[in-house]
Amino acid sequence: MKKIKVLVSLLLLLVFCYCCVNRSLPLENPAYAGSEKCQSCHPQQTALFKTSDHFHAMDTVSAETVKGDFNNTRFIYQGDTAFFYRQGSRYFVRTTDSTGVKKEFAISYTFGWQPLQQYLVKFEDGRIQVLPFCWDTREKAKGGQRWFHLYDKERIAHTDELFWMGINQNWNYMCADCHTTDYKKNFDLAGDKFNSRWSESRVSCESCHGPASGHIKWADEKDKSVPYKGFAISLAAKAINWKMDPVKQTLMPEQVIPHDTLLETCARCHARATRFSDSYTHGQSFLQSHLPATADPVNYYIDGQIKQEDYEYGSFAQSKMHAAGVTCINCHDPHSMKVKAVGNSLCTSCHQPAKYDGTTHSFHKPGSTGSQCVNCHMPVTTYMVVDNRLDHSIRIPRPDHSVQMGTPNACTQCHQDKPVKWAADYFLKWYSEKLPREKTYGELLFAISRYIKESEASLYTLLENKAYPAIIRATALEQYGFYTTNRVSNAVMEELKNENPFLRLNALRALRNYPPENYSGHVETLLYDKVAAVRYEAMSLLAPQQARLSEKDAAQFSLLVKEYIQQQEQLSHRPDGYFNRAILKNFTGQQQEAEQLYKTCIGRFPDFIPAYTNLIDLYREQGREEDAKKTADKGLLRNPGSAWLHYAMGFWYIRRKEYTSGIRELEAAAKMEPANADMTYGYAIALFSTGRGTEAVQLLEKFLRGYGNQRLILDGLISIYQDMGNAGKAAAFASIRKEVYSE
């Protein structure tokens, strides 16, 4: 599993509600004081906090904290038996280790509280690993009070990348930041070990409010001249007036003021993100230390609904609630995390019940499942076998979109015995006159993803209309930057100046699809951006052209390279740390260092395919073909199912004019990843080069029928048909290319 985190989200409760502005202040050497220092002055908040999942995010092992049955209990998973037992006050599990041998492991920490609890094992090198066996803490009547495996019916062998002792189940990197307070990973590259430190094994008061030493001093002196009562930030809010919209029958703010300080405080742990630095400062953009994911098609459906765990932020950032200035604590008590009202009463505190809490709105009987707001607007997806998560995009359910796009919808999630068209017909009968006239961002993303005539225009519309959520526009920049028409190019350049750092970041990513001359003079200023993630992305984009930088920009570039290398060294408990350093070393002319880093990466992480393929490319560029072959052989011996290694091997043979072997390898790669345009294109070009042009165009045309008019495939067809003397076919595909990509 990826990071295991908890939740927060949205709405409003009073006509006069609150909305935060960004408020932070540098504070000299603030120190963490511990939650116990807060209790005497804040007993009510402390009492609520102790009932929260935050309070139980992690704990040391004891009879009070362990919920699982360790009374000589056995659990059988895929024929493999785990044994849970106690020895005095200590807790143990006997299970398979990374060599496939059964061993005894002491449990060091509990992890989570409800609806499941996990357990952590600490090793001598400082690693803390998450066991795959979870205790279902729900009532027995609800299916709980049992052991289960995190991956349920999926077989995770000791050689699998998701095995519990591997890097993807490493607590120090994957989980710790959001289950402790004042966490420092402290990876020791030279010793290849962790010296991780934290002040509290839970999400404490200071996790959100920041170090409290200044506040404690303020509490003693009550100096009114001290900003934010001694904290570096304020999570307090500015009172604004919420008025009832007579048409919508919903409370709306007189002025939308983004609640950025609080929202980004929550987003630090409630966003699907990668932390690249231990240097987190409360009140700053969390892009100073984290790289948040977009609503990409791996983790989300094309219309933005959650597919994989998104930890709420990515969904909520899409919502109309977020656009109106609503934040997590409008619905959730910030200390207990519980919602502030039960059932529809939470929603009707802002949305008038006369309009929304009745059969005229839901067309379901009062009190029924279908009459509950969350069941339609926040459908549940279950993760980690038993953990139900609500989709916080708070969207209108659209079964009519399901018919068109194949996306899920709340209606047939409940009415599982009915076809999608049945739900769509009723939905349009009841609500068609009430639907927005403009296209939803889901419709636009769907059109963009299909490689059709409307794709480029849909992308331009999405980027130009600032009313669409920033996270969706950022997603479009990241995923579909290959539409490079003049007007899209101009829209991308405009986003480089956007106040939202997430949009600046993904505009830079989009520019990777353009030749350097297109963005020269536009990106250099972002080397000095106030947000670290943006600075490093600009540095990465400019790395191949560093020799063209001015003296001033070159100095800033070198400073960023040094910082980035240090950060990646701290990430070298994973292959990324070596791989990213190697790429940068190669770009900056240090090929020998790059080679060594790739080789070290392969030695430590022999299943990390990109290290092999990049090293093969490095050897090819240097004319070291035998070294390239040895690297490919080594990779395929370890990873025979890797399409990219077969692809690299195929072109090694082609370069040596061993066409039979080369085509065999390229065919294997294309069959392993049939949706990959590069694989199909490479195989087709090899076929054509050996006189098998008819097979080549058949292969490329089949790809278009299955996966859309991708530009690389169209280019292949145009080129091959031209060389075959079939001007008509070449012109037909050139026309499609021009229609889709407006070129």
- What's the pLDDT tens digit per position in 499-542? 999 999 999 999 999 999 999 999 999 999 999 999 999 999 99
Which has more pLDDT, 627 or 3? 627
Domain boundary among 202, 218, 241: 202
Provide the pLDDT confidence category of residue 1 given band limits of 50, 70 and 90.
very low
Is 648 a domain residue? no
State how far the alpha carbon of 69 is from the alpha carbons of 57, 147, 199, 421, 726, in Å: 19, 8, 29, 47, 73
Euclidean distance between CA atoms 460 and 465, whole angstroms:
8
CA angle 244, 323, 45 (to 5 degrees): 80
Could you tell me if residue 555 is inside a domain? no
- Model confidence band, residue 16 (pLDDT cutoffs 50, 70, 90): very low
Q: 186, 202, 218 — which closes off a domain? A: 202
Task: Write down the pLDDT at residue 10.
Answer: 23
Give strand ranges (E) for 434-560.
none
Segments in 248-345 forming alpha helices (H): 260-270, 313-316, 320-323
| H or E, element range at 566 | helix 551-570
351 neighbors 250 (Cβ within 8 angstroms): yes
Residues 463-476: tens digit of each pLDDT: 999 999 999 999 99
Tokens, residue 361: 């709105």
Tokens representing 275 are: 């932390």
The number of residues making up the chain comes to 743
Is the residue at 542 inside a domain? no
Quote the pLDDT of residue 283: 87
Residue 17: band (very low, low, confident or very high) from pLDDT cuts 50, 70, 90: very low
The Cα-based distances of 431 to 304, 354, 412 in angstroms read 21, 17, 16
Whether 238 is in a domain gets the answer no
Gyration radius (Cα) of the chain, Å: 28
User: Residue 557 is encoded by which pair of tokens?
Assistant: 């570039």
Q: What is the pLDDT of residues 175-199, one digit of tens each?
A: 999 999 999 999 999 999 999 999 9
pLDDT-derived band of residue 279, with 50, 70 and 90 as boundaries? confident
Hey, what's the torsion of the CAs at 648, 651, 655, 660, to 10 degrees?
A: 130
Query: At residue 137, what is the residue type?
Result: T
Report how far Cα 546 is from the mean position of its chain's Cα atoms: 30
For residue 505, give the amino acid letter. Answer: L
- Tell me the residue type at 395: R
Residue 184 lies in a domain: yes
Give the residue from 159, 185, 202 where a domain finishes.
202
Distance CA 84, CA 399 (A): 46
CA–CA separation, 320 and 335 (whole Å): 25
620-678: per-residue pLDDT in tens? 999 999 999 999 999 999 999 999 999 999 999 999 999 999 999 999 999 999 999 99
Domains: count for the chain: 2
pLDDT exceeds 60 at position 22: no
What proportion of the chain, given as a percentage, has pLDDT over 70?
96
Written as six digits, the tokens of 283 are 């009140």
- pLDDT single digits (tens) 56-78: 999 999 999 999 999 999 999 99
Q: How far apart are CA 89 and CA 112, in angstroms?
A: 20
Which pLDDT does position 18 carry in this prediction? 29
User: How does strand 73-77 pair with strand 80-87?
Assistant: antiparallel
pLDDT band for 238, please (50, 70, 90 cuts).
confident
Query: Looking at the predicted structure, is the pLDDT value of residue 20 above 60?
Result: no
Provide mean pLDDT across the span 74-102: 96
Q: What is the mean pLDDT of residues 714-720?
A: 98
24, pLDDT greater than 60: no
pTM above 0.85?
A: yes
HSE-CB at 637 with a 13 A cutoff on CA atoms is 8
| Average pLDDT, integer, range 32-46 | 95
Whole-number pLDDT of residue 743: 65
Confidence of residue 240 (pLDDT cuts 50, 70, 90): confident
- The CA distance from 290 to 273, in Å, is 6
What is the 3-state composition of the chain as percent helix, strand, coil, each rounded to the nearest 5?
Answer: 45, 15, 40
- 563 found inside a domain: no
Long-range contacts of 70-78 (CB under 8 A, 24+ apart): 73/147, 75/133, 75/147, 75/148, 75/149, 77/132, 77/133, 77/149, 78/149, 78/155, 78/156
**Residue 28: per-residue pLDDT:** 67
Please state, rounded to an integer, the average pLDDT across all residues of the chain: 94
Q: Are 402 and 420 in contact (CB under 8 A)?
A: yes
* Domain span at 403: 397-429
* pLDDT for residue 4: 33
- Token pair, residue 717, equals 């067809």
Displacement of CA 328 from its chain's centroid (Å): 19
Q: Greater confidence, 609 or 241?
A: 609
Q: Which of 505, 512, 492 is nearest to 532 (CA)?
A: 505
pLDDT band for position 236 (cuts 50, 70, 90): confident
Asked, for residue 183, whether it belongs to a domain, the answer is yes
CA dist., res. 34 & res. 43, Å (int): 15
Q: Containing H/E element for 541?
A: helix 532-542
Lowest-pLDDT range, 27-31, 221-225, 340-344, 712-716? 27-31
Q: What is the DSSP letter of 110?
A: E
Would 112 be classed as within a structural domain?
Answer: yes
Neighbours of 731 (CB within 10 A): 13
| 671 φ/ψ sector (left φ>0, alpha ψ -120 to 50, else beta) | alpha
Q: What pLDDT is attached to residue 27?
A: 55
The structure tokens 């849909």 sit at 458
**With 80 as the cut, is the pLDDT of residue 556 above it?**
yes
Percent of the chain with pLDDT over 90: 91
List the structure tokens of 306.
């959650």
